[in-house]
Amino acid sequence: MSKKAPAGERVVKEEIENDPILGYAALPGIADEMMDANGQIRPVWRNLIAHLSRLSEAELQERFARADRYLRDAGVFYRTYQSQGSGGSGERAWPISHVPVLIDAREWETVSRGLMQRADLLEAMVADIYGDNRLVEEGILPPQLVAANPEFLRPLAGIKPVGGHYLHFCSFEIGRGPDGNWWVLSDRTQAPSGAGFALENRVATTRAFSDIYAESHVHRLASFFVAFRDALQAQKQSPDDRIAVLSPGPANETYFEHAYIARYLGFMLLEGEDLTVVNNRVMVRTVAGLKPIGVLWRRLDAAYADPLELDQNSRIGTPGMVQALRSGALTVVNALGSGILETRAFLAFAPTIARRLLGEDLMMPSIATWWCGQKEEREHVAKNIERMVIGPAYTGLPFFDDNGQSVLGSSLRETAKETIGEWLADEGAKLVGQEVVTLSTTPAWVDGKLVPRPMSLRVYAARTEKGWQIMPGGFARIGSGDDVSAIAMQTGGTAADVWIVSDKPVARPTLLTPEENFTRNMPGSLPSRAADNLYWLGRYIERAEGSLRILRAWHLRYAESADPNAPLLADMTRYLKTIDIDMAKAVPLTLLRNIDSAIYSASNIRDRFSPDGWLALNDLSKTARRFHDAVKAGDDAAHAMTVLLRKLAGFAGLVHENMYRFTGWRFLSIGRHLERSMHMTRLLGHMCGPDAPDGALDMMLEIGDSVMTHRRRYNVNTARLTVADLLALDHLNPRSILFQLNEIRAEVELLPNAFVNGQMSPFYREAMRLHSGLAVMTPDGMNEEVYARLESELEKLSDLLGQTYIG
């Protein structure tokens, strides 16, 4: 530190020392991201720290709350497998650590160069492993590490990727050692996750620090995604090809991210069953027929991709996918089989392989690793056991994240240490030793003050048309305690945004292309499974509403008479039984199940669904569950139903006001209208019969929300004919059957393949026929028999929709 330090710098330091909230001291002998070895704040941090020190605890908490609120409102979550069994949704909020990690752009240059070289190395390795196997033949890579490797997928051997590259998207976990240099802790090549979380982390953090972010020269993340999106576009063989993100489905821990990335980049989000292979081409089933897939960004492990040639137990794969790859019309990101590069034992050979395949030394070393299948290496590990982590050789998981499969040599009992040599000699081929590394620390906000916490970085590399590009940022995993040994990063950590700070203003790209050459892209073809889920979402939502309306009418009457055996109530109880609703509970279980089914359908199409709608639906479910436990029959229940109806209307309104009117909307809408028409038809058939109890017609009007209209339109008392006129045949009444059929007909006309060779499709014809048939009816013709026939015809219409579009 020069004696002529700028005045500002000294002020900042004093403030920090004087500020009890910001009393921060790096741990002895450990590198710290914010403080240099002399206890000075690094230049890139000064602006942020100066700001922080001016904020009161309350202001700071208010800012953090902003970030949390953003994540909650955006619905950012990841799924935890453990919590699934214990009830609850198994979704956990993203654990943000609010203080970002700041890194100087010049240092990041060096990190980026090191990781680009590493990505090249991995590409060359995987090409050799699935190609000529020179590394094995020349004695550089031991043969068993390939042949006994569960990630060596034999059906892929010899298949060259269509674009020439195996790897397109990788991530690296890197950490900084005590000497200040970076180390690679692990490589992710199978289906690297987290890039979407990095984006959301960035947005959330800038909510908390919008002012500071705006005036700091922080590199933006968007250009990285633009470049990768463009690169994937360029991989397509023909303009008609689709690009899709292939997800294992909503049960996957990072499903949110799959949906997020697909939506962000404008790709389809698909699951294995959306795909089929026809004449060696992978096709997506859409409501407009089969469409070719050109690029699949897979988020599922390769072994599950094809139950015919890979893991035969996979239920989430696409039979024939490997065959399609053999004939070369599809790019998979990353190529099936690339997961082998994650093998922990490979780290031991990376330096030699780099020299052999690239003719270079590694710019960024990986964590020192010894494969115990070799004698000298094994002996080295045994001799230095105190400084080693011992773990499985073939695992793809890094030692700090492998569910406790790795053990710290120093934690072994003395007796175990004595026999370590024998153990390694017996089992060595399956084990690696890795040097225990310590990580750097970075400030985290804990209990009202900044404290140093260990961190490692997750960094992403994407292959673009100009070669590898490194995401300027990523996210930092922050340890929960102050144990800086990397193995302590296993559980309970948080994630912080990473700011790459330049001393000059940075470019501010967005995902959008410049205004002058915009085109209006119509949404791509709707996958059949998504159509199915939208249709059933519509039906379940409407089913819930229909039940709620009947239940409210029932409880209002029960509140007056307190007699469940009064003829009208008893009759309705019987009716409700026929639709599976048991009146033993004021808020029946069937209702909760309908709402859950709606949520389940919605959860399968998160990429097409606004976060607001999702939150509204979950709120509805939570409220219904609470009522189910607490609410009593009568007034209390009637009120509860009103609350639920209002929440349901809120959801419907969000969807109605915000959803783009395209194919997806039509399926949702057809689902709602069809369910409502079925509900009305069934109910009218029951309540307008000659032996319906007294008050049934009034109740019918109430359920159909048409009491006032009826009073206004007919100068007679409620009668069978006027009710049929208003609730069945009035095309202006949004609750009438004819209204529903009118809407269905209009939507169906706009669906793909409504006309085949200029002729109406069977489905369109049937929708048309039902509509015209009802439109010419008169109220006196509407009897129980007509309602019963219509009900079964509506069921058939639903089946026909399934056959035509869902398959």
Distance (Å, whole) CA 358 – CA 436: 28
CB of 695 to other proteins, least distance (A): 46
Instruction: Please give the structure tokens belonging to residue 174.
Output: 């890197």
CB of 156 to other proteins, least distance (A): 9
Applying CB under 8 A, the residues found at the interface with other proteins are 133, 136-139, 143-144, 146-148, 150, 154-155, 157, 276-280, 307-309, 311-312, 319-320, 323, 326
* Cβ nearer to other proteins, comparing 312 with 491: 312
Distance (Å, whole) CA 357 – CA 134: 10
Strand 449-464 relative to strand 475-478: parallel, antiparallel, unpaired? antiparallel
CB of 149 to other proteins, least distance (A): 8
How many residues make up the chain in this entry? 807
Distance (Å, whole) CA 685 – CA 687: 6
| β-sheet bridge partners, residue 408 | 389
Do residues 344 and 398 make contact, with C-beta atoms less than 8 angstroms apart?
yes
Instruction: Please give the structure tokens belonging to residue 685.
Output: 């058939």
* Cβ nearer to other proteins, comparing 162 with 199: 162
* Cβ nearer to other proteins, comparing 39 with 158: 158
* Cβ nearer to other proteins, comparing 277 with 336: 277
Do residues 467 and 116 make contact, with C-beta atoms less than 8 angstroms apart?
yes
* Cβ nearer to other proteins, comparing 304 with 651: 304
Distance (Å, whole) CA 310 – CA 312: 6
Determine phi and psi for 146, rounding to 5 degrees: -95, -55
* Cβ nearer to other proteins, comparing 376 with 515: 376
Instruction: Please give the structure tokens belonging to residue 194.
Output: 């987290």
* Cβ nearer to other proteins, comparing 308 with 407: 308
Residue 179 burial (10 A CB sphere; 0-12, 13-18, 19+) = exposed
CB of 249 to other proteins, least distance (A): 17
Do residues 655 and 598 make contact, with C-beta atoms less than 8 angstroms apart?
no
Question: Strand ranges (DSSP E) for 747-786?
Answer: 755-756, 759-760
- Written as one string, the DSSP assignment of 334-371 is SPTTGGGGG-GGGGGTHHHHIIIIISS--SSPBPPEEE
CA atoms within 13 A on the CB side of 607: 29
| 3-state SS class at 731 | coil
CB of 430 to other proteins, least distance (A): 9
Report the candidate in 802, 684, 656, 647 with the shortest Cα–Cα distance to residue 743: 656
* Cβ nearer to other proteins, comparing 13 with 326: 326
* Cβ nearer to other proteins, comparing 318 with 604: 318
Report the candidate in 89, 134, 483, 71 with the shortest Cα–Cα distance to residue 251: 89
CB of 168 to other proteins, least distance (A): 25
Instruction: Please give the structure tokens belonging to residue 328.
Output: 């070369």
Distance (Å, whole) CA 478 – CA 495: 6
Report the candidate in 596, 599, 583, 553 with the shortest Cα–Cα distance to residue 702: 553
Distance (Å, whole) CA 121 – CA 116: 9
* Cβ nearer to other proteins, comparing 70 with 371: 371
* Cβ nearer to other proteins, comparing 309 with 675: 309
- CA angle, residues 191, 195, 196, in degrees to nearest 5: 110
* Cβ nearer to other proteins, comparing 95 with 319: 319
Instruction: Please give the structure tokens belonging to residue 784.
Output: 């129980």
**CB neighbours of residue 738 within 10 Å:** 21
* Cβ nearer to other proteins, comparing 18 with 312: 312
CB of 336 to other proteins, least distance (A): 14
CB of 529 to other proteins, least distance (A): 13
Instruction: Please give the structure tokens belonging to residue 139.
Output: 């004695």
Instruction: Please give the structure tokens belonging to residue 532.
Output: 């199915």
Do residues 426 and 6 make contact, with C-beta atoms less than 8 angstroms apart?
no
Amino acid, res. 369: T
* Cβ nearer to other proteins, comparing 278 with 416: 278
Kindly give the residue spans of alpha helices, DSSP state H, lying in 384-523.
414-418, 420-427
CB of 357 to other proteins, least distance (A): 17
Instruction: Please give the structure tokens belonging to residue 721.
Output: 């004919």
Q: Cα 125 to chain center, whole Å? A: 31
- CA angle, residues 598, 603, 605, in degrees to nearest 5: 105
CB of 280 to other proteins, least distance (A): 7
* Cβ nearer to other proteins, comparing 137 with 360: 137
Q: Cα 771 to chain center, whole Å? A: 40
Residue indicated by tokens 């269905």? 744
**CB neighbours of residue 230 within 10 Å:** 12
* Cβ nearer to other proteins, comparing 309 with 401: 309
| β-sheet bridge partners, residue 475 | 458, 497
* Cβ nearer to other proteins, comparing 154 with 355: 154
Q: Cα 474 to chain center, whole Å? A: 17
